[in-house]
């Protein structure tokens, strides 16, 4: 009997190694050294080695942890889409929740050696730490077997996601090959019309317009900069070609093949001087740095804002547009082509940015019993079939059949039942872990174009007309941040403190343009004292490394 089992185990051995290509061959060494009954059965149960894991052929269950304070995973199977997946693909996902303190939860799981199978997290240096500690499963062997990720994300994106050992550990979310993003300027159409629809193209136009608004509408905030005054960073793009808000968070501005100090960047200095002027003359919200999201939302949705700039003004803009239109069909919001300083090329102005790598990633940990099966699921999930179901629900409700690109054919009900449709789409929002942006947008656009303008979705309309054309591709600047407890990380923290402070001070307290400049000079000195040059060097090196990977 034992001999028979042994023979069975031996026969399976080469096949098993074939399956994982000699890479971390779990099970196989133990199978050869101590061929016990348990390893033999363990090896026999998965699908024939070398083959792909067929989703739905056997039940798959894994635990999933969303590494965010705000994230609580909805119950798997609690909505129509995941219920369909649970029933038809036999996939069950068990939530591990952060309970409002993600960092502590993850630390606890690491320390107690109790990792979830999948971690959904920001694409940052912390992932690299997990990898370096040998806690993650590489995907390279699965990429060709399961074609969706490779097909839709593309080689370039995958290369950027690779870790320093050359392997791929991160499954991207909302990755894209076409421009994305919502940053820009939203304008109150009623006020705009009443003021005679003046030209709104340059910063001078904007300034003159805001002055007019202040005179005629004392209760309206002429320029709203959003929570944390992000609109000021959006406006940075107006003062230089190829400048985008992303550089302010990056704390470095590309010049040639080097990253230079943000404090000395002429465009940045000018943008703060302009913001300071708006603030001093009460043309900008006076609560720019102290208000929270609720305060902004209240102002926009009641129409007490004339121009609103931020990184995602579309969401509030759409909500405000609907709210205002209900009371007065003439009211609402529209978007304008990004403002630029006179003399600059308006086609090189990028208020926002997008990253081919998308938003965040899923990683599979070594705690997973069958990582290949989990990868197979994620790959299916990001493919056309998975995306159709998780975004628009099971077939037969809002779509029926699919075109050649896998784009769903939307039904009548998709248009006539917006309430039910939105409810369904909202219910799965937090289960979209591997959003395939290009696929979704192509499907959506194709459909929107068949609708009359007033039936079109507000956000989709402005995205296609303006924002997607004015977002900069910043993929090459990905992953420039050092780990937080490294020497460069500590410098980054200090420089960031200096930046936040000087940015607020320059806008709120400076009495003149000269004073803004003097404050920024002082900030540069302070930053150099804590090692800004070393940080810029580190970021420049990482950037150049990225360029090599992309092959530019």
Residues that bind other proteins (CB under 8 A): 103, 107, 110-111, 126, 129, 132-133, 135, 221, 282, 285-287, 289-292, 294-295, 299, 304, 484-485, 489-490, 493, 497, 500-501, 503-505, 508-509, 530
Least spacing, CB of residue 317 vs other proteins, in Å: 19
| Residues shown for the chain | 552
| Of residues 163 and 242, the one with the C-beta less far from other proteins | 163
Q: In angstroms, rounded to a whole number, what is the distance separating the alpha carbons of residues 314 and 182?
A: 6
Q: Write out the two tokens for 479.
A: 């992953």
Least spacing, CB of residue 303 vs other proteins, in Å: 13
Cβ-based neighbours of 240, under 8 Å, separated by 6 or more: 265, 266, 267, 270, 341, 344
- What are the start-end ranges of the H helices in 366-512? 371-382, 384-392, 412-416, 418-428, 437-448, 458-465, 487-508
Least spacing, CB of residue 456 vs other proteins, in Å: 32
| Of residues 269 and 503, the one with the C-beta less far from other proteins | 503
Query: What's 76's DSSP letter?
Result: T
Q: In angstroms, rounded to a whole number, what is the distance separating the alpha carbons of residues 184 and 235?
A: 9
Cβ-based neighbours of 433, under 8 Å, separated by 6 or more: 64, 120, 173, 362, 378, 381
Least spacing, CB of residue 499 vs other proteins, in Å: 9
Least spacing, CB of residue 503 vs other proteins, in Å: 7
Of 184, 392, 401, the closest CA to residue 308 belongs to 184
Q: Write out the two tokens for 359.
A: 């938003």
Least spacing, CB of residue 129 vs other proteins, in Å: 7
Query: What's 94's DSSP letter?
Result: E
Query: What's 348's DSSP letter?
Result: G
- 363 - beta bridge partners? 119
| Of residues 292 and 465, the one with the C-beta less far from other proteins | 292
Least spacing, CB of residue 386 vs other proteins, in Å: 33
Q: Write out the two tokens for 200.
A: 């709104």
- What are the start-end ranges of the H helices in 93-229? 102-111, 125-132, 148-161, 189-194, 203-216
Least spacing, CB of residue 506 vs other proteins, in Å: 10
Least spacing, CB of residue 150 vs other proteins, in Å: 31
| Of residues 295 and 469, the one with the C-beta less far from other proteins | 295
| Of residues 24 and 108, the one with the C-beta less far from other proteins | 108
| Of residues 216 and 282, the one with the C-beta less far from other proteins | 282
Task: Kindly tell me the burial class for residue 398, based on how many C-beta atoms sit within 10 Å of its own C-beta (0-12, 13-18, 19 or more).
Answer: buried
């Amino acid at each position: 009997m034992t001999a028979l089992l042994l023979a069975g185990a031996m026969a399976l051995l080469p096949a098993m190694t074939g399956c994982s290509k000699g890479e971390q061959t779990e099970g196989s060494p133990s199978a050869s050294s101590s061929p016990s009954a348990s390893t033999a059965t363990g090896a026999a149960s998965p699908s024939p080695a070398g083959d792909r894991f067929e989703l739905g052929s056997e039940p798959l269950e894994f635990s999933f942890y969303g590494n965010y304070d705000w994230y609580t995973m909805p119950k798997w199977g609690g909505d129509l889409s995941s219920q369909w997946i649970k029933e038809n693909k036999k996939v069950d996902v068990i939530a591990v929740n952060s309970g409002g303190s993600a960092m502590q939860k993850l630390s606890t799981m690491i320390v107690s050696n109790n990792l979830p199978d999948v971690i959904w997290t920001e694409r940052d240096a912390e992932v690299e730490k997990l990898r370096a500690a040998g806690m993650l499963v590489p995907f390279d062997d699965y990429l060709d077997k399961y074609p969706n990720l490779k097909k839709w994300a593309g080689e370039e994106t995958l290369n950027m996601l690779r870790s320093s050992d050359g392997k791929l550990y991160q499954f991207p979310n909302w990755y894209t090959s076409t421009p994305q993003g919502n940053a820009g300027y939203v304008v109150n159409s009623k006020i705009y019309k009443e003021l005679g629809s003046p030209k709104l193209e340059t910063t001078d136009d904007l300034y003159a317009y805001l002055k007019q608004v202040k005179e005629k509408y004392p209760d309206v905030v002429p320029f709203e900069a959003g929570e944390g005054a992000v609109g000021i960073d959006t406006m940075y793009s107006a003062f230089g070609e190829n400048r985008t808000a992303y550089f302010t968070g990056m704390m470095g501005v590309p010049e040639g093949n080097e990253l230079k100090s943000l404090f000395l960047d002429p465009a940045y200095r000018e943008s703060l001087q302009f913001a300071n002027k708006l603030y001093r003359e009460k043309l900008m919200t006076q609560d720019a740095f102290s208000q929270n999201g609720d305060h902004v939302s209240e102002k926009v949705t009641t129409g007490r804002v004339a121009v609103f700039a931020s990184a995602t003004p579309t969401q509030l803009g759409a909500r405000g547009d609907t709210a205002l239109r209900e009371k007065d069909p003439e009211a609402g919001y529209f978007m304008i082509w990004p403002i630029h300083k006179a003399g600059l090329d308006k086609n090189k102005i990028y208020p926002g940015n997008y990253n081919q790598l998308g938003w965040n990633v899923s990683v599979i940990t070594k705690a997973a019993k069958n990582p290949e099966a989990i990868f197979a699921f994620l790959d299916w999930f990001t493919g056309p079939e998975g995306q159709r179901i998780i975004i628009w629900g099971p077939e037969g409700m809002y779509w029926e059949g699919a075109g050649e690109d896998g784009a769903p054919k939307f039904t009548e009900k998709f248009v006539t039942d917006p309430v039910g449709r939105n409810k369904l789409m909202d219910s799965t929002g937090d289960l979209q872990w591997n959003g395939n942006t290009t696929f979704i947008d192509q499907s959506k656009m194709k459909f929107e174009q068949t609708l009359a303008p007033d039936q079109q979705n507000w956000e989709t309309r402005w995205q296609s007309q303006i924002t997607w054309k004015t977002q900069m591709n910043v993929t090459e600047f990905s992953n420039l941040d050092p780990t937080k407890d490294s020497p460069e990380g500590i410098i980054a923290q200090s420089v960031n403190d200096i930046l936040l402070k000087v940015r607020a001070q320059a806008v709120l307290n400076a009495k003149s343009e000269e004073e803004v400049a003097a404050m920024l000079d002082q900030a540069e000195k302070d930053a150099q004292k804590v090692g800004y040059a070393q940080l810029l060097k580190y970021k420049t090196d990482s950037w150049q490394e990225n360029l090599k990977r992309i092959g530019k």
